[in-house]
Amino acid sequence: MKPRFVTLCLIIAAAASSAGWAQSATEKATQVWKPVQFAIVRFNEDAPKSWNIYHGEKKGLLLVRLWKRYMLVNTSDQEVYDIDPEKVKSQGQNVEWSPSDLPDQPAETSEWKIRDVGTLRRIRFRFGKNGSVLDIELPLLPNGKPAY
């Protein structure tokens, strides 16, 4: 009788720990994105009235809010994804968004230019072949690493 009781306790403990693991995996799927301080955005050479840039844990990924539109900018792969604004949740100055909600296909972009100019990283690309131009300037530390 005792071995069955011990076996039952082990099964319940394993089920409880795996349920906790699944919950923590779900919680980790949603990331907190923090604003990039001192960034500059230009859309077709003009400053948009409403914008923000957020960074996550992974380098090279930026979540850009331009008016009511959200975009994930992957600088290392030179890709831009349109993000459903319903899936981005404001949390004070930060936002929450899960990379699992990433669309299958990136938006069409061209003319990518990424340059470091002193204490500034400039990312510039065009939507489509003849579309609008988005210009992002991010602060860098004197050693060339991102300041965010």
Residue with tokens 């602060």: 139
SS3 (DSSP) at 144? coil
- Region 126-132 average pLDDT: 96
Which burial class, exposed, middle or buried, applies to 46 when counting CB atoms under 10 A from its CB (0-12, 13-18, 19+)? exposed
- Region 87-103 average pLDDT: 95
105: amino acid identity, one letter: Q
pLDDT level of residue 20 (50, 70, 90 thresholds): very low
Which burial class, exposed, middle or buried, applies to 33 when counting CB atoms under 10 A from its CB (0-12, 13-18, 19+)? buried
pLDDT level of residue 111 (50, 70, 90 thresholds): very high
Q: What is the pLDDT of residue 148?
A: 87
Adjacency order of strands within the sheet including 40-43: 40-43, 133-139, 120-127, 109-116
Does position 8 have pLDDT exceeding 70, yes or no? no
Does position 18 have pLDDT exceeding 70, yes or no? no
Strands (E), 19-132: 31-35, 40-43, 51-55, 61-66, 69-74, 79-83, 89-91, 94-97, 109-116, 120-127
State how far the Cα of 72 lies from the Cα of 74, in Å rounded to an integer.
6
- Region 124-131 average pLDDT: 96
Does position 9 have pLDDT exceeding 50, yes or no? no
- What does the pLDDT look like over 62-90, one tens digit per residue? 999 999 999 999 999 999 999 999 999 99
State how far the Cα of 63 lies from the Cα of 98, in Å rounded to an integer.
11
